[in-house]
């Protein structure tokens, strides 16, 4: 099992703001079309991310378990790709791992991530689609 060695290398340049322009109206009137609420669609497969807590310790093992199952409970072949987000932007990524049904791994958070509010994302891809499992963390000493 691999450990995270450099998850925050691009943290300094991760945030960029863009200003959106506002156009003027030409005086024309618009009418909103009537909409109807649709029933929510069940996701095509189930995926879970389990971890021991939202405040892992730096330089210590933080075990995670990722699962991918069909809606009837059968394990699915899948690929998981880890992403590390700061303020909604990906600042680091980790290799992809193939698994069937359940994948166990250990993440080791570096000391330089202490106190920074991050999101650990497990991006799961199966033949039925893709799901992002987000888990907020703040690393402690």
Cα-Cα end-to-end distance for the chain: 22
Domain positions in the chain are 45-138
Please give the share of the chain, as a percent, with pLDDT higher than 90: 68
Which of 1.10.10.10, 3.10.20.30, 2.60.40.1930, 3.30.70.990 is the CATH number of 45-138? 2.60.40.1930
pTM, two decimal places: 0.71
Of 75, 91, 82, 96, nearest to 134 (Cα)?
82
pLDDT, tens digit, for every residue of 66-123?
999 999 999 999 999 999 999 999 999 998 999 999 999 999 999 999 999 999 999 9
Q: What is the pLDDT of residue 95?
A: 85
């Amino acid at each position: 099992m691999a450990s995270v060695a450099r998850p925050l290398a691009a943290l300094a340049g991760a945030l960029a703001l863009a200003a959106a322009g506002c156009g003027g109206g030409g005086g024309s009137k618009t009418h909103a079309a009537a909409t109807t609420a649709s029933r929510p669609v069940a996701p095509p497969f189930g995926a879970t991310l389990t971890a021991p807590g939202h405040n892992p310790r730096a330089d210590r093992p933080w075990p995670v378990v990722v699962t991918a199952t069909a809606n009837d409970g059968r394990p699915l072949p899948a690929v998981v790709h880890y992403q590390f987000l700061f303020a909604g932007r990906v600042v680091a990524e980790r290799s992809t791992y193939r698994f069937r049904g359940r994948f166990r791994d250990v993440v080791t958070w570096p000391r330089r991530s202490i106190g920074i509010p991050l999101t650990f994302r497990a991006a799961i891809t199966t033949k039925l689609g893709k799901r992002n499992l987000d888990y907020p963390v703040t690393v402690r000493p």
